[in-house]
Amino acid sequence: MSLLKCSILSTAMVVIPLISAPAMADENVEVMHWWTAGGEAAALNVLKENLEKQGVNWKDMPVAGGSGVSAMTALRARVTAGNPPTAVQMMGFNIKDWSAQDVLGNLNDVAEAEGWDNVVPPALQEFSKHDGNWIAAPVNVHSTNWVWISKKALDDAGGKAPTTWDELIAMLDTMKANGITPLAHGGQAWQDGTIFDSVVLSLGDDFYKDTMIDLKPEALGGDKMVEAFDRMAKLRSYVDDNFSGRDWNLATAMVINGEAGMQIMGDWAKGEFLQSKKVPGEDFVCIRFPSTQGAVTFNSDQFVMFDVKDGLAAQKKMASAVMDPNFQIAFNTVKGSVPARTDVSDEKFDDCGKKGMADLADAGKTGRLFGSMAHGHAVPDGIKSAIFDVVTAHFNGEFDSKTAAAELVDAVESAK
């Protein structure tokens, strides 16, 4: 039995639907997702309303927990029980894993009729297709190498956004001296991992590729990795005492309410600023993590359709609604992400969104677009978890940097 099948069968968890839409509609979708924070829920609502207008009854199946860790556990339980949801929010290597289990539906009809092949970037198609068949509809592209800075805290610290590691540290020191928590962070493995994406990338594209994608032992355990862990330890020193277990959106709220100076987080954080009526450039500033400018560590949320009885018509409507260019604008301007199609204008996007779209296009052209390790687009789930374990143990002071680099080599090797 494969490792994946083993873990699918070993989980038992019951999830209860929280919201049911009116019963008059004749087509139904039950949608499993982890979009429960303010900006996320607002964005998802756009899709729900679009589908309800088309007579598709939306049964909401939210499973809270950043980056979908809990949602993926709940999904395994549902599939094991022989009762998969109609559609599931999913990312990267999780999509590949489920494709290999032969339990997904096929969206080729819609994809062909709507020409998805020509508008979805190849880096996303890599995950949306299995054996040449479309099995998922990508709703967005996020990226993880961003920093979200309070404009007031930035101004109080001299006003110039940091572009290098040394400038970042100088600014964090000034914010500390100014009496605020310099770095808002939530101590959860995926959040530690999200910072790690940026820190590794800041030491060079090749280093990111060698370690997070190609998993070369000599790079995973080398001097540069020790330096990456030193950088993680340095960042850890700017986090407040209560960071352990904090949800990411609560960390964003600390920046929004002026308690903290900045957060290193993917662009879903922008959704939270927008929900609080904060304006980019006026209330907050978005920059690429220092020394990663021009490169992008991306992840894409996709809706995967399970092979369910009597669900196909509604699934096709949902897939089509997800890929609709106007929907991609309406959704992504709220969510903080950018469209999963290359033919959408950036006109309606704010400055951070415009920058996100331009960065993504440029990074694609220059070969500087990399899958995010922390958000499942660089390595399979088991290896991601092994990396998380080491990164979090080190972040919490269990390992020094040298030990962490050595542990990383072993952890990755045994997860392969």
Residue with smaller CB distance to ligand GAL, 34 or 395? 34
Q: Please report how close the Cβ of residue 95 comes to ligand GAL at its closest, in angstroms.
A: 12
CB atoms within 10 A of CB 229: 26
Stretch that binds ligand GAL, among 63-71, 217-225, 254-262, 358-366 (CB under 6 A): 63-71
Site mask for ligand GAL (CB under 6 A), range 219-238, x = bound? --------------------
Contact 353, 130 (CB under 8 A): no
Residue with smaller CB distance to ligand GAL, 217 or 382? 382
**Alpha carbons 246 and 273: distance in angstroms, whole number:** 18
SS3 11: coil
Sequence-distant (≥ 6) Cβ neighbours of residue 268 within 8 angstroms: 37, 39, 40, 142, 248, 335, 336, 337
Among 134, 207, 268, 331, binds ligand GAL (CB under 6 A): 268
Distances (CA, A) of 387 to 37, 140, 155, 212, 256: 26, 25, 36, 9, 30
129-130/142-143 β-pairing: unpaired
Query: Residue 66 interacts with ligand GAL (CB under 6 A)?
Result: yes
Stretch that binds ligand GAL, among 17-25, 61-69, 224-232, 398-406 (CB under 6 A): 61-69
**Alpha carbons 255 and 151: distance in angstroms, whole number:** 9
CB atoms within 10 A of CB 277: 8
User: Distance of alpha carbon 297 from its chain centroid, rounded?
Assistant: 10
Strand order in the sheet with 296-299: 142-143, 296-299, 369-371
Query: Residue 267 interacts with ligand GAL (CB under 6 A)?
Result: no
Query: Residue 34 interacts with ligand GAL (CB under 6 A)?
Result: yes
Among 40, 192, 197, 272, binds ligand GAL (CB under 6 A): 40
Q: Please report how close the Cβ of residue 167 comes to ligand GAL at its closest, in angstroms.
A: 27
Among candidates 242, 232, 152, which has minimal Cα distance to 195?
232
Q: Please report how close the Cβ of residue 372 comes to ligand GAL at its closest, in angstroms.
A: 8
Tokens 């020193």 found at: 237
Query: Residue 246 interacts with ligand GAL (CB under 6 A)?
Result: no
Q: What are the structure tokens assigned to 132, written together?
A: 């040449």
Q: Please report how close the Cβ of residue 157 comes to ligand GAL at its closest, in angstroms.
A: 27
Q: Phi and psi dihedrals of 170, rounded to 5?
A: -60, -40
Beta bridge partners of 87: 31, 305
Residues 105 to 144 in contact with ligand GAL, rule: CB under 6 A: 142
Among 197, 210, 301, 381, binds ligand GAL (CB under 6 A): 301
Residue with smaller CB distance to ligand GAL, 150 or 300? 300
Q: Please report how close the Cβ of residue 356 comes to ligand GAL at its closest, in angstroms.
A: 13
Tokens 């038992």 found at: 12
**Alpha carbons 223 and 213: distance in angstroms, whole number:** 18
Residue with smaller CB distance to ligand GAL, 188 or 291? 188
Residue with smaller CB distance to ligand GAL, 197 or 301? 301
* Amino acid found at 138: P
Residues 339 to 398 in contact with ligand GAL, rule: CB under 6 A: 375
Q: How many residues bind ligand GAL (CB under 6 A)?
A: 13
Residue with smaller CB distance to ligand GAL, 375 or 394? 375
User: Distance of alpha carbon 62 from its chain centroid, rounded?
Assistant: 16
Residue with smaller CB distance to ligand GAL, 225 or 383? 383
Among 28, 50, 67, 150, binds ligand GAL (CB under 6 A): 67
Among 27, 29, 32, 35, binds ligand GAL (CB under 6 A): 35
Stretch that binds ligand GAL, among 60-68, 75-83, 224-232, 317-325 (CB under 6 A): 60-68
**Alpha carbons 354 and 330: distance in angstroms, whole number:** 14
Among candidates 172, 67, 148, which has minimal Cα distance to 352?
148
Stretch that binds ligand GAL, among 64-72, 215-223, 381-389, 393-401 (CB under 6 A): 64-72
**Alpha carbons 137 and 135: distance in angstroms, whole number:** 7
Stretch that binds ligand GAL, among 32-40, 51-59, 111-119, 252-260 (CB under 6 A): 32-40
Interacting residue ranges for ligand GAL, rule: CB under 6 A = 34-35, 40, 66-68, 91, 142, 248, 268, 299, 301, 375
